[in-house]
Amino acid sequence: EELPSLGLEFDYINCDEVLYLLPDIVAGLQGMKSVLKPDGIIRTNLHSSLQRHNYFKVQEVFQMMGLMNENPGEMEMELARETLDALKDSITLKRQVWKPERAKNEEWILSNYLLLGDKGYTIPEIFAALKSADLEFISMVKWRQWEILDLFKSEDELPAFLGMSLPEISVEERLHLFELLQPMHRLLDFWCGHPQKGQSFVPVSEWTDSDWQKAKVHLHPQLRNSQAREDLINCINNHQPFEISSYVKLPTLKPIHIDSSIAVCLLPLWDGVCTVESLVERLVKIRPLDPITLEAVSKDRCWEEVKELLDTLDPFLYVLLER
């Protein structure tokens, strides 16, 4: 809350695993907002009351036992372990929260069973707090893991009511519906900023031909190393797929491979930013003939192949497309 006393302003504020411990989260958000530059971004998070529900019950048990009257120490941690271990294995709460191996770690016990001031929140409470602090929600940090349609067996066979209503509901409602159906996220981790400062965003899938012709391509910084470049060259020389996902790991993804015959057009990105058009021209030179028909490959076909490749890589941030 005392951030204004610094006399500084910030482009980016990272407030991780802190906000939910404050007595008043709105005051914390207002403190950060007061030192945020007009186009700045705040990344912060709150514990989920839905996902953490069982741990809050454990904390209430230990509060009743007097283990959280003051800052817990060795004795309180050992009593917490003994209490949960002594419960029958069939007890619901034990099955939900007792992890013997993890409980050996003092930090884990203190941040789950005995965390003083721990509180949980829901998506509507986040949006209400942002409104009170005069901040605007931008996005969840792990936004790919908050897609409501991923919870259904088939996007094309939704119940009629959902099929009609989902496209119309707000971002807040979509996120809240997700957390009700699948409370998998311990942290409600999000970006926010000053109101009305969000720049217009057009998804790559909606780009026009004109957008593509003027677009630039940046390679992910973790890919821009000599080893990745050497590995790509080896894959090209040996006609093997290039596993691009091995350099930028995302925990929920399967390995992503690129056929070396198309990956070859990405090589110039290791030297710097390229236009999409320059990558297309490179592919035209590399593959002038169709290997089946031996007819000349048109530039339009190369455009489509490069666009498809970049459209595949962009959602995982392996490349960043600049419109």
Per-residue pLDDT tens for 212-253? 999 999 999 999 999 999 999 999 999 999 999 888 876 556
Q: What is the pTM of this model?
A: 0.76
pLDDT at 1 (0 to 100): 85
Pick from 163, 193, 223: which residue ends a domain? 193
Q: How many domains does the chain have?
A: 3
Q: Which two tokens stand for residue 191?
A: 């970006």
Residue 75 lies in a domain: yes
CATH number of the domain where residue 129 is located = 3.40.50.150
User: How far is 323 from 313, CA to CA, in rounded Å?
Assistant: 15
Q: The domain containing residue 159 runs over which residues?
A: 3-50+118-193
Non-local CB neighbours of 193 within 8 Å, separated by 6+ positions: 36, 39, 40, 41, 42, 135, 136, 138
Neighbours of 138 (CB within 10 A): 18
Looking at the fold, whether 90 and 157 belong to one and the same domain comes out as no
Query: Over 70: is that where the pLDDT of 200 sits?
Result: no
pLDDT at 184 (0 to 100): 96
Residue 270 lies in a domain: yes
Looking at the fold, whether 167 and 295 belong to one and the same domain comes out as no
pLDDT at 157 (0 to 100): 87
Looking at the fold, whether 295 and 242 belong to one and the same domain comes out as yes
User: How far is 276 from 286, CA to CA, in rounded Å?
Assistant: 15
Looking at the fold, whether 65 and 139 belong to one and the same domain comes out as no
Residue 199 lies in a domain: no
Pick from 193, 223, 248: which residue ends a domain? 193
Looking at the fold, whether 235 and 302 belong to one and the same domain comes out as yes
